[in-house]
Amino acid sequence: MISIAILGAGNVASHLYKAFSKSDTVDVKQWYNRSYDAIKSFKNETEVIDDLAKLKEVDVYILAVSDDALEEFSKTLPFNNRFIVHTSGTVSMYALDKKNKRGVFYPLQSFSKDANVNFENVPFCIETEEKSKMQMLKDLANALGSKYYKITTEQRKTLHVAAVFINNFTNQMYRIAHEISDAENIEFDLLKPLILETANKVQDMSPYMAQTGPAKRNDKKTLKKHLKRIENEEHKEIYKLITKSIQKTHGIKYRFDIKRKKH
């Protein structure tokens, strides 16, 4: 049995609390938050506290507090040499005060308070200062039914960039498609199955192998027709640049002629 304390009561802390409470291999000994109100309704399930001095000794302290607060908050912990982890994708492990043994237990998923979370689909990036602590984080991930990946602080930074492409930039592709279809009174609903299909396809196939379409086929006639049809200058520019990128990826010699306005 691994004993843990959860610190913080935001999106991540709340979901972790709920999931760990159900586990047979993890005991949530205490739940701390600076404002008691957020956690008091759980007082019959676990020990809820708003005073750091009351923290008992446990195997892992999970600091699920805001990124900006992590560094200072870790200094205020009234103990040494215990194992503390944060749950942030962007904060370095070394931002935590070195008086304790440090680690990262970062769930790569966006959480909101209402939506239910199925942790089986949430991969954890784990990192520890001391190698011997790694198994503890693996066990925590297993207790949630989650996959885990050993990821260094440096790798985590790169991962964040990759996630921007996959989440924010992909979402902007959806948005542009929405604008283009709206302008012609085409219901966006019509495109939703294609969004899912595209995402599903790369679950068992590399994006390289999954690519299709006029850029990949180097279908110049269609590329030209599409550009003519796109009215928004910025969308045109994106069309050209991503087409060029696809063609480069697939070793196509012909590069879509890009006339760029100078800024």
Ligand X SMILES: NC(=O)c1ccc[n+]([C@@H]2O[C@H](COP(=O)([O-])OP(=O)(O)OC[C@H]3O[C@@H](n4cnc5c(N)ncnc54)[C@H](OP(=O)(O)O)[C@@H]3O)[C@@H](O)[C@H]2O)c1
> Which residues bind to ligand X, rule: CB under 6 A?
8-13, 33-35, 38, 64-67, 69, 73, 86-89, 106-107, 110-111
Q: Provide the 10 A C-beta neighbour count for residue 137.
A: 23
Instruction: Select from ligand X, a copy of itself, none the partner in contact with residue 65, using the beta carbon and a kind-dependent cut-off of 5 to 8 Å.
Output: ligand X
Contact in structure between 100 and 83 (CB atoms under 8 Å): yes
Under the binding rule (CB under 8 A), the answer on residue 184 touching a copy of itself is yes
Least distance in Å: CB of 200 to ligand X? 15
Single out the segment in contact with a copy of itself by CB under 8 A; choices: 20-28, 43-51, 96-104, 176-184: 176-184
Give the CA angle between residues 198, 200, 201 to the nearest 5°. Answer: 65
| Among the listed residues 25, 110, 145, 220, the single contact to a copy of itself using CB under 8 A | 110
Give 231's DSSP letter: -
CA-closest candidate to residue 214, choices 182, 184, 180, 242? 242
Q: How many CA within 13 A on the CB side of residue 109? A: 22
Interface mask toward a copy of itself for 68-107; x: CB under 8 A = ----------------------x-----------------
Exposed/middle/buried for 211, CB within 10 Å: 0-12, 13-18, 19+?
A: middle
Instruction: Select from ligand X, a copy of itself, none the partner in contact with residue 9, using the beta carbon and a kind-dependent cut-off of 5 to 8 Å.
Output: ligand X
| Among the listed residues 171, 233, 251, 253, the single contact to a copy of itself using CB under 8 A | 171
CA dist 48 and 33 (Å) reads 8
Residue nearest to ligand X (CB): 10
| Among the listed residues 34, 50, 226, 252, the single contact to a copy of itself using CB under 8 A | 226
Least distance in Å: CB of 27 to ligand X? 21
Least distance in Å: CB of 193 to ligand X? 12
Binders in 243-262 for a copy of itself, by CB under 8 A:
244-246, 248-249, 258, 260, 262
Of 11 and 142, the one with the shorter C-beta distance to ligand X is: 11
| Among the listed residues 113, 165, 233, 254, the single contact to a copy of itself using CB under 8 A | 165
Long-range Cβ contacts of 242-248 (<8 Å, 24+ apart): 242/215, 243/214, 243/215, 246/211, 246/213, 246/215, 246/216, 247/215, 247/216, 247/218
Long-range Cβ contacts of 172-176 (<8 Å, 24+ apart): 176/235, 176/238
CA-closest candidate to residue 105, choices 141, 67, 154? 141
| Helix H or strand E encompassing 6 | strand 2-7
| Among the listed residues 43, 66, 212, 220, the single contact to a copy of itself using CB under 8 A | 212
Of 23 and 33, the one with the shorter C-beta distance to ligand X is: 33
3-state secondary structure of 22: coil
Instruction: Select from ligand X, a copy of itself, none the partner in contact with residue 94, using the beta carbon and a kind-dependent cut-off of 5 to 8 Å.
Output: none
